[in-house]
Amino acid sequence: MSEASKLVEINFDGIVGPSHNYAGLSLGNIASSSHAGDVSHPRAAALQGLAKMRGNMARGLPQGFLLPLPRPNAGYLARLGADSETDRRLLAQSWSASSMWTANAATVSPAPDTADGTCHLTPANLVTMPHRAQEWPDTKRMLQLAFADTAHFTIHDPVPPTFGDEGAANHMRLCEGHGARGVEMFVYGESGGPFPARQHEQASRAVARLHGLDPARTLFIEQNPEAIAAGAFHNDVVAVANERVLFTHERAFARPEEAYAEIREVFPALELVVVPEAEVPLGEAIKTYLFNAQLVTLPDGSTALIVPGECMESGAVRSWAERTTASNGPIRQVIPVDVRQSMANGGGPACLRLRVVADPETVDARFMLDDEKADRIARIIERHWPESIAPGQLGDEALAGEVVSAREALLQELDLGELA
């Protein structure tokens, strides 16, 4: 069997951490802001995420996971010189469980696309949001463990903090098959009205150079400033790609027709699915996270779209889904999943996963999921994750101890004490 034939797309979902809370730290993320101050339910959140992973395994899709980062982040608080008088918003940053959204963990270029024939991963610096900028050192350490086989993987440092980089949430790949040579698309922002454009063009270009991508098969596309201003803080809130299919809202890109033409020039096999504003308004697409979905190839070769359950509660989105699956288009199934705890903080099914095209045998087996391991993880979550957290509890010493102990129990269960 050739090396290319062993390559499959593996979704590495973030296990929702025991400090999951609604502190409303993410400017431009409307769901996060609108739920600020609500009581969160970490146990339910983690079990919802695990159920999504189980569902994908049942559909025949390879599934991995990444672990919660250490929270509260004592090192972060120490560097701030935090004390009893420290602003509560700074304390909340150290408790953030936002690493659950592993689409922001790194940008990934599979081996068929890179000059040296290894899969390259560059951790995102996430400098635009303070609560996320603290993540990359621990994220890189975990990536170096999960993808330690240097014959198959190359792990980089983040690009300099001069340029904001948000990882795979602003990166798409088109290909004839996951193991084939692809075309990589980086989507960057120039402006976003009242909200920051988080992905800088120069960060995207730096990642492409670091990964050794062929300039003739690498595209840089500007996100529509109107989409950013409407709450599409990452491109994956308004567009997602899988193999030959690009699924996008018509207002996702700054110059859509120019973007489509540029893509078709380098990838003639493109199957373009554009949702018109007249069918699903941009605001409704962002509210329901129709595009923050997992667009996947099932074992029978058909394409399915795994969407948040909220999509089926929208008349416009539900009608679009019914028309789409009844047509001859590439998307044959629209499958709703319950990730309500994540959605309330601004992350749908696509936010919760990092796509890595690799031979599963080259990945540290401790990060690959099967049914037995999922059962063990569920038992740890049910036993140790807090049932609820109110924002006013952030900073509570007893709760901090509970959160730390919960993560330690998971690491011990998975034999991953190196990440303690």
The C-alpha atoms of residue 202 and residue 189 are separated, in whole angstroms, by: 10
Task: Give me the helix-helix angle, 371-384 and 397-413, nearest 10°.
Answer: 160
166 given a catalytic annotation: yes
The C-alpha atoms of residue 82 and residue 280 are separated, in whole angstroms, by: 46
Spatial neighbors of 397 by CB under 8 A, at least 6 apart, are: none
8 Å CB contact between 189 and 237: no
397 given a catalytic annotation: no
Amino acid at position 308, single letter: P
Q: Single out the catalytic residue among 9, 166, 184, 284.
A: 166
Q: Single out the catalytic residue among 234, 249, 250, 310.
A: 234
At residue 380, φ and ψ (nearest 5 deg) are: -65, -45
Task: Give me the helix-helix angle, 42-58 and 371-384, nearest 10°.
Answer: 170
Question: What DSSP line would sit under 23-55, residue for residue?
Answer: ----TT-HHHHHTTTPPB-HHHHHHHHHHHHHH
Whether the bond between 72 and the residue before it is cis, its omega within 30 degrees of 0, is yes
At residue 164, φ and ψ (nearest 5 deg) are: -70, 130
Query: Helices marked H in 157-273 — which ranges?
Result: 201-210, 225-230, 256-266
C-alpha closest to that of 197 among 27, 22, 25, 23 = 27
Report how far apart, in Å, the C-alpha atoms of 389 and of each of 32, 99, 394 are. Answer: 15, 17, 8
The set of catalytic residues is 166, 234, 351
